[in-house]
Amino acid sequence: MSEIEIARLAADGDEIAFAEIVRRFSPRVFSYSARFFRRQTLVEEAAQDVFLKAFTQLGNFEGRGSLEGWLTRITVTTCINILRSSKPQAEMTLSDLTDDESNWLEDRLMCVALVNHQTQEDKLIAADLIGRVLDGLAPEYAFLIQMLDGEGASVKEVSRSTGWTEAKIKTKAFRVRRKLRDSLLRLMNAKDGRLRRG
Amino acid sequence: MGSAHITEIIDETPLAALDASTREKVEIHAAECAECSDALAASCLAQSMLRSRNAGRRNRAAAVF
């Protein structure tokens, strides 16, 4: 059965058709939700919201693009809205870092050549630390930079996933790279200041 | 590139996507400019950390599905 046929049946209240949509596209929806939330329970809640929204809006799906693309755009919008409505997190400061994290960051900045030869432990620290830095950014910025620089997605691919124009993506990418860089440098400058005072 | 700072370039394009000639110019400039050297190091680190985060997310997803 084609996507448009399944979508029409589901829009008319056919539960089996909707269950088929959930079965087919859950991996995609969960995968995108996980780009926004680290806790699995939040990923699952977001995915539930996405399918609820999809169920109520299926009548609007006209089949001009793929159902997968349509659901991906709903996922991105839903996750951004959830994060926007939750309590905003302050930008990360030096006091949020443990001594070990602070030393790790300094070591890596001092020796960038080592960055591409990380141990497993390095990778875990890096992933956790950048996740917390990203938490201080607007959710669309955090998502965008993760897609472009973390996953190596092209501007075109991000545009298809989000519905944003390529110009908007390039402008936001420029801003968020600068923000990330400045955040890391601020953390390190604060550490230098603390060491000088200590 | 002369005395112009390189931050515009490294904010516009992922470092991994810079062509060899631009990358070389960026590195030459960074070697002579402390401000840009710090900026380049922080950008490299940020992108490396993002890749680590992505790898961790993919591993978690693989465990779920």
The answer to whether A124 faces chain B, any CB pair under 8 Å, is yes
Q: What is the pLDDT of residues A138-181, one digit of tens each?
A: 899 999 999 999 999 999 999 999 999 999 999 999 999 999 99
Angle formed at CA A46 by CA A41 and CA A49, multiple of 5 degrees: 130
- ipTM confidence score: 0.85
CA distance A175 to A178: 5
Regions in chain A scoring below 50 on pLDDT: 113-114, 117, 195, 198
Q: Do B51 and A131 touch (CB under 8 A)?
A: no
Q: Do A30 and B51 touch (CB under 8 A)?
A: no
CA distance A174 to B9: 9
Cβ A4 vs Cβ A116: under 8 Å: no
Interface of A with B in 25-84 (CB under 8 A): 27, 30-31, 34-35, 40
CB pairs under 8 A between A and B: 98
Q: Which chain B residue has the Cα nearest residue A30?
A: B61
The answer to whether B49 faces chain A, any CB pair under 8 Å, is yes
CA distance A127 to A140: 19
CA distance A144 to A111: 27
- What are the structure tokens assigned to A17, written together? 């058709």
